[in-house]
Amino acid sequence: MNVYLFRSPLTMPISETQIFVALLIALIPGILAFRLSTELYK
C-alpha cells in the first residue's frame, strides 16, 4: 500500500460542499446505529 497515495503533492483544497457531503454520509450510519441501540434497549 502506497503511503503517499492520500498525500499527493497535488492536494486540492476541499470545498465546503465536499465537507457537507462527507458529514451527511457520516451521519447516516450514526443515525441508524442510534436508532438500533434505542430499539435494542427497550
CA distance linking residue 8 with residue 26, whole number of Å: 24
What cell does 5 get?
Answer: 497515495
pLDDT of residue 5: 53
- Asked, for residue 2, whether it belongs to a domain, the answer is no
- Asked, for residue 29, whether it belongs to a domain, the answer is yes
pLDDT above 70 for 10 = no
pLDDT above 70 for 11 = no
Domain interval for residue 20: 14-41
- Asked, for residue 8, whether it belongs to a domain, the answer is no
- Asked, for residue 1, whether it belongs to a domain, the answer is no
pLDDT of residue 14: 74
pLDDT above 90 for 34 = yes
CA distance linking residue 37 with residue 31, whole number of Å: 10
The dihedral of CA 7, 8, 10, 16: what is its sign?
negative
Strand stretches in 1-42, DSSP E: none
- Asked, for residue 5, whether it belongs to a domain, the answer is no
pLDDT of residue 35: 96
Q: Model-level pTM?
A: 0.48
Q: pLDDT > 90: what percent of the chain?
A: 50
The total of structural domains in the chain comes to 1
What cell does 15 get?
Answer: 470545498
Instruction: Count other Cβ atoms within 10 Å, centred on residue 18.
Output: 11
- Asked, for residue 34, whether it belongs to a domain, the answer is yes
